[in-house]
Every structure is written in C-alpha cells, then in structure tokens.
Amino acid sequence: MKKGNYKLTVGWLYPDLMSTYGDRGNIICFKRRSEWRNIKTEVFPIEVGLSNKHIENCDLIIGGGAQDRQQEIVIKDLLSKKTVYKKLFKRGIPGLFVCGSPQLLGHYYMTANGKKLPGLDIFDFVTKHFGNNKPRCIGNTAGELIPNSKFQIPNSKKTIVGFENHGGRTYLGSNCKPFAKVLKGYGNNGEDGYEGALYNNVIACYYHGPFLPKNPHIADWLITKSLEIKYEKSIELEPLDDALEWRAHEFILHKLGVR
Ligand code: GLN
C-alpha cells in the first residue's frame, strides 16, 4: 500500500461498560497495527447519549463483552441508534463484536433473569441465557474460519483462537452465516458446532482474550476492509513481522490439542 494520508476512526462501543476479559485489547491492537502502517488512527468512545452524527463518522465499530447488568444498562441507548447502525453496516462498514455486544445485535437476548432484551436485528440470530443453573461456556477455544463470498482471508491461516466465558447461547437463523466451525470449546451454543456469525463486513464472535492480538489475520482484514470502504479502492497492507503473534496463536492450538 503506497504511503498516503490514510486515516481511520474506530468507534468503541460503550468502553466503560462493555470491555470484559480484556476486550479493550482489540482496540489497542487495531490502532497499533494501523499506525505501524502509517495509518492515522483515532479511537472514538461511543458513550450512552451520543448523537448519531458522531457514529456516522466512524470507519468501523468495535464492541466488547459485558455482564447481563451492563447489557441492560446500554440496551435502551443502543436501540435508539438502530437505524444508524443498520445503515452503516448495510453500507459495508466493518465491525468486530465480542460476546455481550453481538448478543444485542440479533433479534433478542434473553438474560439469565428471563428479561427479553430486544436486539437491533442486524444479525439473524437469537441468544438465550438458560439461567445460572446451566453451566457457563468457559475456556480456551479454537475455530476454523468459514469463508464466504464477502469474507475471504487469502494466503493466511484459517484458524482462530481465544477464550470464551458466556452463559448466553446463540442460535443462527436461516439467513445468518457462521464465522467459524468450532474446533475446541463451545462456540455459539455448544450444540451446532458453529462459532460466531457474519453480516456483510461485521464479525460477531465469542472470543475474548483479547481476540485480535493472537489473530493478526483478522485484525488486518478489519483494517483492510475499513480502508477499502472509506477510500473506495482495493488495499493491500504492508506485511508486519507477526512471528510473536503466530507463536501465541500456535501455542493455544497446541495447548488445545488442535495441532
Ligand atoms: N452476559 C452475557 C452472557 O453471559 C455476555 C457475557 C460476556 O460478554 N462475556 O452470555
């Protein structure tokens, strides 16, 4: 990618309420990997009460996980922005949402206390928490990406690794593409063998960790897509020395007996 005056604004969804299990590390990783390629990167905190126009200025949105309580705190504000998010993601603005945030982007999230939180209907899926007597889905986890016409990661590894901790189980509808196949762990629900979901350039997944540092191929896919949508041209990023990142990735695969 020729040196240019590229700039990206990353919208960070409710940073003080939705960043469980190190998910703020995804923001740090995205910013560093962009800046190492001389892409000026600004992080914009999307707080409760923010006006729509600030959200429309974001070139991608990243959201982390949260306990049911924080999800109940943000849902009214999130629903008030349903139109602007649907418009952005339909246009192809990328997103990465981990665990508690994507659960609010489906049709609904049924909390552990049986409260049905309406979702933004961006993903064709529903999430149900079957109460605190049902064991949570916890542990190191690995998956194999499921490419589709919109989601291709050429010349790179096809595995993803992370850490999951969720009570909610997500069930994909007929119009929803999965992000990956479960190799180890529970994935969306511990039943159907799928992990996460894809809508246009938006990724939903259950991988905390944080996710991006040990999955540099996904971080670079998000950077590339953000630039391509913003500047309306094909982008090829300068490769980085990811030896350490891939060692961490392979370590988890080995630890889980996948390699
Ligand atoms: N509260 C949600 C659940 O228990 C999400 C948890 C999380 O984000 N780690 O499934």
Question: Residue 233 class from Cβ within 10 Å (0-12 exposed, 13-18 middle, 19+ buried)?
Answer: exposed
Q: What are 212-236's pLDDT values in tens digits?
A: 999 999 999 999 999 999 999 999 9
Distances (CA, A) of 230 to 9, 10, 81, 225: 10, 12, 21, 8
Decide whether any atom of ligand 1 lies within 6 Å of the 70 Cβ: no
**CA distance to 12, 82, 119, per residue, from 20 (Å):** 13, 23, 20
Position of tokens 């000026």?
Answer: 40
Q: Is the CB of 67 under 6 A from ligand 1?
A: yes
Atom of ligand 1 nearest to the CA of 208: 9
Better pLDDT: 132 or 75: 75
Position in ligand 1 atom list of the atom nearest CA 168 = 10
| 54 assigned to active site | no
The overall average pLDDT reported for the chain is: 96
CA terminus-to-terminus distance, the chain: 33
In angstroms, the CA 198 to CA 123 distance is 8
* CB 110 near ligand 1, within 6 Å: no
Distance CA 235, CA 252 (A): 30
Per-residue pLDDT tens over the stretch 61-105: 999 999 999 999 999 999 999 999 999 999 999 999 999 999 999
> Which atom of ligand 1 is the closest one to the Cα of 127?
10
pTM of the complete model: 0.97
> Is there an atom of ligand 1 within 6 Å of 167 CB?
yes
Which pair of tokens denotes residue 18? 């939705």
Other Cβ atoms less than 10 A from the Cβ of 229: the count is 19
Summarised one tens digit per residue, pLDDT across range 151-205 is 888 878 999 999 999 999 999 999 999 999 999 999 999 999 999 999 999 999 9
User: Is 217 in the active site?
Assistant: no
Q: What is the distance in A from the centroid of ligand 1 to the CA of 20? A: 9
